[in-house]
Structures are given as C-alpha cells and as structure tokens.
Amino acid sequence: MKFLDIFAGIGGFRLGLEMAGHECVGHIEWDKFAQESYNAMHEIKEDEYCGWDIQEVRARELPRADIWTFGFPCQDISSASYAHTDATGLAGTRSGLFWEMAKTFRLVGKIIGRKPTVLLENVAALFRQDRQSDMGLILGTLASEWGHTEWDCVGAGTVGAPHHRARAYIFADDRSLGRSRFFPNEILRQPEYDCWKDVRCPTAVPERSSLYPSKLCRGNDGARKRLHAIGNGNPPCVIRELTRGIE
C-alpha cells in the first residue's frame, strides 16, 4: 500500500512501513535538521512529494495514498510538560496541530471521495486520567470522520526491542472497508523483552548482572548506538508489526 508520512521527523514511520512492504509517496516535515537527517537516511524518489509546513499544504496537491501516518507534536501533552504550568494539551500551539490534520482530512475526503486509513502515534501520557479529555477529542474527531477507530498502548519491548518505550497508537478507517481489528494478538500478548537481552549482537552487551538502564544508555560498549538506531520517539519495529498485515 502507498503511504504519506506526515510530521515525518527522521522517518520512524517510514522505516517501519517500508519493512512491512509498503511504499512511501511523500513526506511532510517542518524542522530543517530533521529534514536533513530524513533525506540522508532514506531513499527519496525524484517524484516523491516533499512538504514543509502542514499549515500551508494544499489538500489538492497531496499525493494519493492508502495510509496517512503522523505523530503530531507531543510537547503540550507529554508527562514532561507537567513540570510547567503551561501544559495546554490539544489547545497548545504545538500539540494543537492535530486540528490542522483534522481539517486536511476533511478536505481530502471531499476532493477524492474517500479518506485514507490513518495511523496516529503519540506519547503514552494520552492514557493518563488527566489527559482523558484530549484522548476523547482525538477519538471523537477520528470516529466522526471515519466511523471505525481502534487504539492501544504498545511498548517496543513487545516486538523484540531491548527497551520499553510505550507509545499510544490510534488507527482510523472507513467502516465500510470491513476491517475488524488492527492490533495483532501477538503484540498485545507478548511479554516485554526479558533482562535487556539483545539478540542482535549479544557479544557487545555486558553481563546481565551489571546491566542497568543508565549504564546501557551511557556506556561505551556500543549498546547506546544500537538503542539510538532502533528509534526513540517512534520505534520502527512497532510500526512494522502493526502494518505488515494491512491490505
């Protein structure tokens, strides 16, 4: 299937979707440094759509895609924001860009007569009790536009990564497509990764008895580089497993 990578960052969604056999037809990213990393890390096709600001894109110019992926800014929602008094949720200037996406959804739906399947990712803090109003607004908006919405909190450790990194994932699509569920049982029931074991390169990791998170992330044994490559905000391995069966 073809997908459009929105709020692309350095391409966590893209890497996971391509590993699952899907094709990228365009991406949108505002940060110039993330753009540079994205261009260096991925094979950008000559005819690929490249957008900059989601607030300025024109719906008619967006490429036709079966899936839209986006992890809109989390700064006004994340747990870190609660260290300040200006945690404004979806009313914030950054996390509030979700509403720009909702507006674009409606326009594209009117132009082409249907809406693409949406896969949204953000911080697990959306499941906090004091963030339920934001979660309700997101789910309500998506459900009113598509009719079928699913969500769950998935940790990277459930698909084989040596770190937890739980994130909120939300799917939305047209109910008429008849898809029953997006989250495979294998993901929801698989236990978290055990004892920080790294099956990709076990010889480069210290003995488990002395392996604790701070040493793993700061040591000079190469584990830090591997964790960084796996993905921080949006682990590609999770996206791969969530989308490998979509047709």
Picking from 148, 136, 15, 123, the residue whose alpha carbon sits closest to that of residue 71 is: 123
For the chain, what percentages of helix, strand and coil (3-state, to nearest 5) are there?
A: 45, 15, 40
Taking the C-alpha atoms of residue 245 and residue 20, their distance in angstroms, rounded to an integer, is 8
Taking the C-alpha atoms of residue 11 and residue 39, their distance in angstroms, rounded to an integer, is 9
Q: State which H helix or E strand residue 13 sits in.
A: helix 12-19
Please confirm, yes or no, whether 74 is among the known catalytic residues.
yes
Is the distance from CB of 173 to CB of 146 less than 8 angstroms? yes
| Of 24, 74, 153, 195, catalytic | 74
Active site (catalytic) residues: 74
